[in-house]
Amino acid sequence: MVANNSALSQFFSHVLFQKTEGNYLIFHTGNDTIIHNVLQDLYIEYLGRGKYKNTFLNTLLILLWAQLLRFHENDIESILAKSYGSISMPDIMNYLNRNYQTVTLSEAAEHFGFSTSHFSTLIKEGTGRTFLQIIKEIKLTQACRALKETPLSIASICELVGYENSEHFMRTFKKTYGMTPGQYRSKYTENE
Instruction: Provide the pLDDT for residue 16.
Output: 63
Residue 27 belongs to what H/E stretch?
strand 24-27
Q: Are residues 25 and 78 in contact, defined by beta-carbon separation less than 8 angstroms?
A: yes
Residue pLDDT, tens place only, 111-163: 988 899 989 988 888 888 899 999 999 999 999 999 988 999 999 999 999 99
Is a pLDDT exceeding 90 seen at residue 167? yes
- Helix 181-190, helix 131-149: angle, nearest 10: 50
Q: What number of other Cβ atoms are within 10 A of residue 157's Cβ?
A: 22
Question: pTM to 2 decimals?
Answer: 0.58
3-state secondary structure of 112: helix
Is a pLDDT exceeding 70 seen at residue 190? no
Q: What number of other Cβ atoms are within 10 A of residue 143's Cβ?
A: 24
Rounded distance between C-alpha atoms, residue 165 and residue 41, angstroms: 45
Burial of residue 12, with CB atoms counted within 10 A of its CB: 0-12 exposed, 13-18 middle, 19 or more buried: middle
Confidence of residue 48 (pLDDT cuts 50, 70, 90): confident
Q: E strands, 51-138, where?
A: 76-79, 83-84, 87-88
